[in-house]
Amino acid sequence: MRFRHRAAAGFATLLLPFAGMVGLASPAQAATEATATYAKTQDWGSGFEGKWTVKNTGTTTITSWKVEWDFPSGTSVTSGWDADFSSSGNHWTAKNKSWNGTLAPGASVSFGFNGSGSGSPSNCKLNGGSCDGGTVPGDEAPSAPGTPTASNITDTSVKLTWSAATDDNGIKNYDVLRDGAKVATVTGTSYTDSGLTAGTDYSYAVQARDTADQTGPVSGAVAVRTTGGDDDGDPDPGDKVNLGYFTEWGVYGRNYHVKNLVTSGSASKITHINYAFGNVKNGQCTVDDTYAAYDKAYTADQSVSGQADTWDQPLRGNFNQLRQLKAKYPHIKVLYSFGGWTYSGGFGQAAQNAAAFAKSCKAVVEDPRWADVFDGIDIDWEYPNACGLTCDTSGPAAFKNLAQALRAEFGKDYLVTAAITADGSNGGKIDAADYGGASQYLDWYNVMTYDYFGSFNKTGPTAPHSPLTSYNGIPQEGFNSAAAIAKLKAKGVPAGKLLLGIGFYGRGWTGVTQAAPGGSATGAAPGTYEAGIEDYKILKNSCPATGTIAGTAYAYCGNNWWSYDTPATIAGKMSWAKNQGLGGAFFWEFSGDTSNGELVSAISNGLK
């Protein structure tokens, strides 16, 4: 996937606190255990931005922290990040999140807030002691309660029970979370949730609070489906796979959000979503853009559920929106996709210790904050033992070894899939790795049967970027879907584990003088986000198709030449996929489709 760049990555930085502008608070006295210092990092007259920094200056690890202070009348916190805020009158309290409470000796953590008014904090306390370096009391946050067990499930209710959390000072109560939002606070270890919808999927977890009002980590999540409900016409689990990629960075410049899957009608037609992309760094899986993934706040009108995010809820961002989508469309399965064209260079190091890599991936997928969101993992290692954005020399067995380690770590209850090259040429990328041997460990391959030709060869010849079959004059033999699928089958990959790839975009050249394929060009045609690439939703109107070749549409307008798939060519490709016994189709990516999801509909209709 040549154009999978984080084009809008910089936008996230603009939305985070301006750490570089922080001024120092007055010098703290000599510390024996920990300090808490405050700085006003911005001031716009009617309001300001404040930042607290907690530092462990002692010799033992701190497992939780709580900062308290007083504001003068007329000054208050309006929103905050990286801490849980509460107030009683003019007295304010900020407690660590579940993931940033532990501070090793010498370590520090910062949290911030936006405020109204013009006052400054006073009477600071850190864990009940001095903020200027006094001994920090040893009050620890409670442990995570046990994962809830569901019983007495009816059309409209479910009973939840869980094992108690532990704490050095005792447990005060538990928050019950449904789909990440608090629905009740109880003193015991059971709760019956009622008023539910029949035949609907829910996810429940609990979180303990101690007598010092500290909250501990969220428990594991239990999935519950209420009884009853009618068939809603959504895809059955046994249907062909219709999978779409949702890009993490699309929430910026493209302004494409999870709710668009609902408003376009696509959510009722797809079966799976690949969330793209997690990064691969230092041989491990990691979340890439944490702001977009789990911190970006959504208003009620932007949200799938129609409810606005709050500053203190455990999970926000794309992950929470995907959780809401799954509650509304329980047939959808979501996989966390790692790699892609830009990040495939990290897999070589990962392959050196495949077991450790797999363990790191599962830790990300099963993070307690979003464990119920993901049903599996997808590895987009696009050029194992071959060259792409970089060159990989991990050897022909590395891909199989990685697949085997992932299956061993994730087990049979998770989906484990891979997006792979579609280079069907003799001695090409499919021949560089053991895709046949690896397939036994994977549920399916997303065969990237697109990007064969494009303006990365700036003088042409013009050719469809996603040809279904070969044709007279094709610039490179083996660069077509039929050749790739045939080669993978010959290597022992079952047809049912192969998904045909569809691009929701076109590739184009400029300086072209002939309408038919095979013409010369002078460079890349103009594109909205990248030269030589344009979304289908734009091309269908700006440069309508004038012909087809090898099962793909092409268009000639002015001196520009484009190729892309239309509902009609997708119908032909889906018919071919069914005749080949393939497991279904996938596409890159949702935001290229029209606002009414006509390409998703074409795939769905074609696979029936």
DSSP string over 223-291 = EEE-S-----SPPPTTSPEEEEEEEGGGGSTT---THHHHHTSGGGT-SEEEEEEEEEETTEEE-S-HI
Both tokens of residue 147?
A: 């994962």
Tens of pLDDT, residue by residue over 279-311, are 999 999 999 999 999 999 999 999 999 999 988
Answer yes or no: are the C-beta atoms of 104 and 74 closer than 8 Å: no
Structure tokens given for 177: 């979370």
Pairing of strands 222-225, 201-210: antiparallel
Q: How far is Cα 214 from Cα 305, in angstroms, rounded to an integer?
A: 29
pLDDT digits (tens, 9 = 90+) for 319-349: 999 999 999 999 999 999 999 988 989 999 9
pLDDT computed for residue 99 by the predictor: 84
Note the maximum CA span of the chain: 81
The string over 354-376, giving b where at least 16 C-beta atoms fall within 10 Å of a residue's C-beta and e elsewhere, is: beebbbbbbebbebbbbbbbbbb
Give me the residue label for tokens 């961002």: 317
Assess whether pLDDT exceeds 50 at residue 512: yes
- pLDDT for res 394: 92
Domains and CATH numbers, the chain: 21-130 (2.60.40.290), 149-225 (2.60.40.10)
Closest to 564 measured CA to CA, from 466, 469, 460: 466
Distance between CA atoms of residues 63 and 212, nearest Å: 14
pLDDT band at 134 (very low <50, low <70, confident <90, very high): low
Three-class DSSP category at 537? helix
- Tokens found for residue 188: 């015991």
Is residue 28 predicted with pLDDT exceeding 60? no
Mean pLDDT within 9-31? 31
Q: Is 101 exposed, middle or buried (0-12, 13-18, 19+ CB in 10 A)?
A: buried
* pLDDT score, position 8: 35
pLDDT above 70: residue 2: no
Query: In whole angstroms, what is the distance from residue 449 CA to residue 482 CA?
Result: 9
Give this prediction's pTM. 0.66
Q: Is the pLDDT of residue 23 over 50?
A: no
Answer yes or no: is pLDDT of 228 > 80.
Answer: no
Q: If we measure between CA atoms, which residue out of 111, 108, 102, 110 comes closest to residue 61?
A: 102
Q: What is the spatial distance between Cα 545 and Cα 565, in angstroms, rounded to a whole number?
A: 9
* Radius of gyration of the CA atoms of the chain, in A: 27
Task: Give yes or no for residue 557 having a pLDDT over 80.
Answer: yes
| pLDDT confidence of residue 220 | 85
**Mean pLDDT lowest for which of 124-128, 416-420, 595-599?**
124-128
Catalytic residue among 140, 382, 534, 589: 382
9 versus 68: the higher-pLDDT residue is: 68
Q: Which residues contact 27 (CB under 8 A, 6 or more apart)?
A: none
pLDDT score of 577 more than 90:
yes
251's CB contacts (< 8 A; 6+ apart) are 257, 292, 296, 318
pLDDT, tens digit (0-9, with 9 covering 90-100), for 453-485 = 999 999 999 999 999 999 999 999 999 999 999
> Could you tell me the two tokens for 126?
């850190």
Mean of the pLDDT values across residues 406-425?
96
Q: State yes or no: pLDDT of 531 exceeds 90.
A: yes
Tokens of residue 302, six digits? 């932007």
CA distance 180 to 525: 45
59-70 mean pLDDT? 89
218 or 17: whose pLDDT is higher? 218
Return the pLDDT at 141: 77
Cis check: omega of the bond before 277, within 30 degrees of 0: yes
Average pLDDT over residues 195-214: 86
3 state SS for 143-199: CCCCCCEEECCCCCCEEEECCCCCCCCCEEEEEEEECCEEEEEECCCEEEECCCCCC
Q: What is the DSSP letter of 132?
A: B
In Å, what is the CA distance from 562 to each residue of 3, 4, 80, 254, 524? 16, 19, 48, 21, 10
Q: Is the pLDDT of residue 139 over 70?
A: no
Token pair listed for 522: 């002078």
Length of the chain: 608
Mean pLDDT value across residues 272-278: 97
The Cα–Cα gap between 272 and 600 comes to: 12
Type of residue numbered 48: F
Q: How far is Cα 599 from Cα 585, in angstroms, rounded to an integer?
A: 12
| C-alpha to C-alpha distance for 214 and 229, rounded to whole angstroms | 40
Least confident range from 52-56, 101-105, 168-172, 320-324: namely 168-172
Q: C-alpha angle 519/525/526, rounded to 5°? A: 170
What value, to the nearest 5°, has the Cα angle with vertex 101 and ends 100 and 105?
100
Q: Which long-range contacts (CB under 8 A, 24 or more apart) does 360-363 make?
A: 360/283, 360/284, 360/285, 360/286, 361/284, 361/285, 361/406, 361/409, 362/409, 362/410, 363/285
CA pair distance 414, 404, nearest whole angstrom:
13
Check pLDDT > 50 for residue 13.
Answer: no
Strands 376-380 and 415-420: parallel
Per-residue pLDDT at 27 exceeds 90: no
DSSP-based three-state secondary structure for 62: strand
Please check the confidence at residue 14 and state whether its pLDDT lies above 50: no
Residue 6 pLDDT exceeds 70: no
Question: Of 564, 511, 519, which is closest to residue 538 (Cα–Cα)?
Answer: 564
Q: Is the pLDDT of residue 188 over 50?
A: yes
Report in angstroms the alpha-carbon separations of 323 from 292, 548, 591: 14, 40, 19
Structural contact between residues 465 and 534, judged by C-beta atoms closer than 8 angstroms: no
Please name the amino acid found at residue 398. Answer: A
Count other C-beta atoms under 10 Å from residue 415's C-beta.
17
pLDDT at 216: 86
382 is catalytic: yes
Q: With H, G, I as helix, E, B as strand and everything else as coil, classify residue 36.
A: strand
Q: Using the predicted structure, report yes or no on whether residue 542 has a pLDDT greater than 70.
A: yes
Between CA 318 and CA 205 the distance in angstroms is 19
Per-residue confidence band for 401, with pLDDT thresholds at 50, 70 and 90? very high
